[in-house]
Amino acid sequence: MNMLSRYSLLLVILFLSGSVWANKCLYVSSYHEGYEWDDGILTSIRATLGDKCTLEVFYLDSKRNPDAAWSKWQAREALKLIENSKPNIIIAADDNASRYLVMPYLKNKEIPVVFCGINWSMDEYGYPYRNATGMVEVAPVKALIRQLKTVKPKIRRGVFLSSDVLSEHKDFRHYKRVFADHKIELDSIFVDNFREWRKKYREAQRYDFIFLGNNAGINDWYTSEAERIVDQYARKISVTTYKWMLPYVAMAFTKLPEEQGNWAAKVALSILDGEDPALIPVVHNRRWDMWLNTRIIKRLDIKMPYLLYKRAKHY
């Protein structure tokens, strides 16, 4: 067999195995590598896509750099990548990827987009588009409130303590309304450095409960010192919806990034197989985990209902 025949045979084998001219997928993250939520989404996307799509990743890094000018610049860099690499489909995770890239540059264009991780509502980005569909991220706050009231039936006022980033402000607006529906007032405190968080955490003990939001965005976060502060000063029950905040709270109802990534990747593959994104309905996440931090519960001498204690995962 001559060289040309061998080369032709190799091309046929590679083509049949899907290794040549494979679809190209681009994952655009609003955040950064090493952020637990984003890593969970990406890991699930990789596992679901397998070898069916060559995956490239771009990080907007807007959690550590919350200034809008940074995100706009990064979005333009992502657009250059799209124009040069020409992916067959884009998976855009969390709010800022839609705010700064998809909405201004990709709305109703030819390239299909699957979004995920958009908090609470997609309305501010004008979704749905004819080239886009996705999964909206909703925190299990109603379930959290129900269980919180079984532990502390007389709660009337709490505080949301979180990093001073856009997504946390958006979360708080929704949390406040849901808590109000249950006759509970929720105040807010937003901080951008660890020293301020430490101070405000101690002051927050005057509330009936503390709802800890995200520490991502507090770039000088000091994990061991935060645990020491909690162990020393915690007087009231604390809750969260973020798994990585479990070391600092008594109870958590956590969303699953794997649900977002798995769904987005499956839908991306369906679109690559010819399905029209405009005909795929936008959905909301449906799964969550319930956690109890036994260390803090014992320290505060909180009496947990038996069914809650039995059903929850223990940290």
How much is the CA Rg of the chain, to the nearest whole Å? Answer: 22
Are residues 198 and 220 in contact, defined by beta-carbon separation less than 8 angstroms? no
CATH of domain 141-255+289-314: 3.40.50.2300
Beta bridge partners of 187: 159
Q: What is residue 205's predicted lDDT score, i.e. its pLDDT?
A: 97
CATH of domain 3-138+257-286: 3.40.50.2300
Q: What is residue 5's predicted lDDT score, i.e. its pLDDT?
A: 54
Q: What is residue 91's predicted lDDT score, i.e. its pLDDT?
A: 98
Judged against a pLDDT cut of 70, whether residue 1 lies above it is answered with: no
Ranking 53-62, 96-105, 256-265, 305-314 by mean pLDDT, the lowest is 305-314
Percentage of the chain with pLDDT > 70?
93
Count CA atoms closer than 13 A to 91's CA, side-chain side.
33
Mean pLDDT of 212-227: 93
Judged against a pLDDT cut of 90, whether residue 99 lies above it is answered with: yes
Judged against a pLDDT cut of 80, whether residue 145 lies above it is answered with: yes
Mean pLDDT of 117-128: 91
266 to 49, 91, 170, 192, 260: CA distances (angstroms): 7, 11, 28, 37, 10
Long-range contacts of the stretch 63-68 (C-beta < 8 A, 24+)? 63/30, 63/31, 63/32, 63/35, 63/165, 63/216, 63/217, 64/31, 64/32, 64/216, 64/217, 64/219, 66/164, 66/165, 66/166, 66/217, 68/100
Tens of pLDDT, residues 187-207: 999 999 999 999 999 999 999
Q: What is residue 14's predicted lDDT score, i.e. its pLDDT?
A: 46
Are residues 289 and 243 in contact, defined by beta-carbon separation less than 8 angstroms? yes
Look up the pTM and report it. 0.81
Q: What is residue 184's predicted lDDT score, i.e. its pLDDT?
A: 96
Mean pLDDT of 262-285: 96
Q: What is residue 217's predicted lDDT score, i.e. its pLDDT?
A: 87
Judged against a pLDDT cut of 50, whether residue 35 lies above it is answered with: yes
Are residues 47 and 62 in contact, defined by beta-carbon separation less than 8 angstroms? no
Q: Mapping DSSP to helix (H, G, I), strand (E, B) and coil, where does residue 2 land?
A: coil
Q: What is residue 20's predicted lDDT score, i.e. its pLDDT?
A: 43
Are residues 187 and 172 in contact, defined by beta-carbon separation less than 8 angstroms? no
Tens of pLDDT, residues 148-194: 999 999 999 999 999 998 889 989 999 999 999 999 999 999 999 99
Are residues 44 and 261 in contact, defined by beta-carbon separation less than 8 angstroms? yes
Mean pLDDT of 21-32: 90
Write down the mean pLDDT value for the chain. 91
Mean pLDDT of 263-292: 95
Q: What is residue 19's predicted lDDT score, i.e. its pLDDT?
A: 44
Judged against a pLDDT cut of 50, whether residue 80 lies above it is answered with: yes
Are residues 74 and 100 in contact, defined by beta-carbon separation less than 8 angstroms? yes
Percentage of the chain with pLDDT > 90?
83
Q: What is residue 21's predicted lDDT score, i.e. its pLDDT?
A: 52
CATH 3.40.50.2300 domain position(s) in the chain: 3-138+257-286, 141-255+289-314
Residue 270 to residue 281: CA distance in whole angstroms? 13
Q: What is residue 219's predicted lDDT score, i.e. its pLDDT?
A: 86
Beta strand pairing call for 89-93 and 23-29: parallel
Q: What is residue 268's predicted lDDT score, i.e. its pLDDT?
A: 97
CA-based nearest residue to 309, from 293, 285, 287: 293
